[in-house]
């Protein structure tokens, strides 16, 4: 099962790390931008090609030391269909380098729409009886607000096509308190109830690693809540955003680990892909992807120190 293969890859690399591929023009080195803008003008297609060139060089320099990448689709989708195509091209390229891809799409809708999202992002496309090969992520993130019937179509595709999910439970942003922390009638915060639902949704999809194909998004910026959820959800693999640029550190994460089975994969985006701008690593623009590799190795050391 996919989740077991992810756990094995984390064990092999000793890197419970996913590199967030959330390109922004301000973080792409000038030599990449200038060349493509000069040829194509300042168009959405140019941005898509710039983002792909940037992603490709990052991937080429980290694929042997991390198990996964996580493109944030918002960064691509804002550039329309050209950006969307770059998102899919990035998935294909990452998978050609044997990286697992977590598509950070956070979709959530009624079942008939969820079926469509699922078909496009992790399932299969069938056009009037003909199966069409498309680039699909290995995992996607989804939003649980609309309830179980809005999640079921994804569960079916997880089962049928060996894919996985990470459902939002307690997110890394400060505003997550506004709804996710609201106390329920039993005194517990909403996120702990959502955590229970997520465990239940995943209970028939548990692999030999002991983890379910249905994971949870739990922010690194809330260490106490994360520790509480870790205890309550022993069979749920966590995708943990909020490390690095958003404020979380290795120390904040120590309660998340479940021995050599890890139990969590930690995302860093800007902290790795824009490492050359931080002053902490190689600072030459041309070597931006070498700086990214240095940042991965530093992150790995930081995580390992508390495992």
Concatenated DSSP letters of 287-302: GHHHHHHHHHHHHHHH
Is there a catalytic annotation at residue 106? yes
With respect to a copy of itself, which residue has the nearer C-beta, 9 or 33?
Answer: 33
Q: Are 67 and 9 in contact (CB under 8 A)?
A: yes
Among 38, 187, 224, 279, binds a copy of itself (CB under 8 A): 187
* SS3 call for 42: coil
237-276 residues in contact with a copy of itself (CB under 8 A) are 241
Q: How many whole angstroms separate alpha carbon 86 and alpha carbon 11?
A: 30
- Judged by CB under 8 A, the stretch of 9-17, 103-111, 202-210, 259-267 that binds a copy of itself is 103-111
Q: Are 76 and 51 in contact (CB under 8 A)?
A: yes
- Judged by CB under 8 A, the stretch of 77-85, 94-102, 207-215, 257-265 that binds a copy of itself is 77-85
Is 109 among the residues that bind a copy of itself (CB under 8 A)?
Answer: yes
| Active-site entry in 56, 106, 177, 188 | 106
Residue labelled with tokens 């931008």: 33
* SS3 call for 210: coil
- Judged by CB under 8 A, the stretch of 51-59, 167-175, 207-215, 280-288 that binds a copy of itself is 167-175
Is 44 among the residues that bind a copy of itself (CB under 8 A)?
Answer: yes
We find the least distance from the C-beta atom of residue 68 to a copy of itself, in angstroms, to be: 18
Bridge-based pairing state of the strands 139-142 and 214-218:
unpaired
Among 71, 83, 164, 244, binds a copy of itself (CB under 8 A): 83
Phi and psi for 243 in degrees, rounded to 5?
-75, 145
* SS3 call for 131: strand
Q: Are 130 and 203 in contact (CB under 8 A)?
A: no
Count of residues that bind a copy of itself according to CB under 8 A: 73
Among 7, 19, 47, 233, binds a copy of itself (CB under 8 A): 47
Among 4, 82, 285, 302, binds a copy of itself (CB under 8 A): 82
With respect to a copy of itself, which residue has the nearer C-beta, 195 or 207?
Answer: 195
Phi and psi for 83 in degrees, rounded to 5?
-65, -40
């Amino acid at each position: 099962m996919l989740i077991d293969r992810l756990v094995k890859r984390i064990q092999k690399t000793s890197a419970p790390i996913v590199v967030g591929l959330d390109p922004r023009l301000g973080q792409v080195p000038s030599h990449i931008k200038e060349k493509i803008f000069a040829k194509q003008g300042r168009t959405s297609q140019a941005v898509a090609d710039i983002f792909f060139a940037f992603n490709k060089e990052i991937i080429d320099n980290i694929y042997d030391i991390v198990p996964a990448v996580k493109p944030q689709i918002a960064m691509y989708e804002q550039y329309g269909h050209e950006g969307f195509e770059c998102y899919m091209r990035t998935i294909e390229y990452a998978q050609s380098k044997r990286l697992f891809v977590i598509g950070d799409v956070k979709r959530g809708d009624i079942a008939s729409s969820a079926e469509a999202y699922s078909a496009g992002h992790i399932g299969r496309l069938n056009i009037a009886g003909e199966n069409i090969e498309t680039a699909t992520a290995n995992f996607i993130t989804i939003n649980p607000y609309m309830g179980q019937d809005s999640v079921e179509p994804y569960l079916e595709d997880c089962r049928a096509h060996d894919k996985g999910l990470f459902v939002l439970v307690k997110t890394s942003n400060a505003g997550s308190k506004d709804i996710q922390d609201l106390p329920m009638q039993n005194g517990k915060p909403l996120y702990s109830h959502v955590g229970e639902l997520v465990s239940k949704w995943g209970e028939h999809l548990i692999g030999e690693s002991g983890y379910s194909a249905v994971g949870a998004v739990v922010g690194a910026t809330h260490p106490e809540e994360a520790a509480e959820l870790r205890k309550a959800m022993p069979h749920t693999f966590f995708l943990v955003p909020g490390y690095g640029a958003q404020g979380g550190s290795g120390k904040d994460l120590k309660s998340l680990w479940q021995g050599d089975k890890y139990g969590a994969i930690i995302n860093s985006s800007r902290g790795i892909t824009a490492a050359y701008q931080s002053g902490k690593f190689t600072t030459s623009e041309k070597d931006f992807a070498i700086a990214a590799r240095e940042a991965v190795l530093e992150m790995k050391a930081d995580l390992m120190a508390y495992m």
